[in-house]
Amino acid sequence: MANEQNLIKPTRDRTAKQRRESARKAGKASAAKRRERKAMREMARIVLDMPAGKGKLADIEALSMDETLEANLTVGQKAVLAVARKAVEGDVVALTFLRDTAGEKPADKVEVSGEVAAAASDIQQMIASAKEKADGR
């Protein structure tokens, strides 16, 4: 049997002050997560915008994990740099990840063409035929 004292009260059973405090903590955590995502997105943009001339791109390739640890980067930023090194080597999946993280993912669009009236008529006929089959059973 569970120890009743260790259970967390459902939100509906908490006081207004407790609910406000919980919401405040959640808001702060959400803001911190948004800042982290934004930093990762900005890092990906910076990496993608780096010139491919001599010395510039080689800086990423030569960057070791020890150097990134000293730079006080987040795990996400370190991951972006690691993926950037792979992308420079020709890894298409790594490049796709970088592009998507930077917010440059192309929108998945589906173009629908045709006559709406004809499609609606076809759908109505399908529904009528399904009803007839169901009634005939």
71-111 per-position pLDDT tens digit: 667 777 778 888 888 888 888 898 888 888 888 777 777 77
> Residues 97, 40: contact at Cβ < 8 Å?
no
For residue 64, what pLDDT is reported? 53
For residue 28, what pLDDT is reported? 95
Rg (CA), the chain: 27
User: What is the pTM for the complete model shown?
Assistant: 0.49
Q: Which residues of the chain have pLDDT under 70?
A: 1-2, 51-72, 112, 137
DSSP string, 34-62: HHHHHHHHHHHHHHHTS--STTHHHHHHH
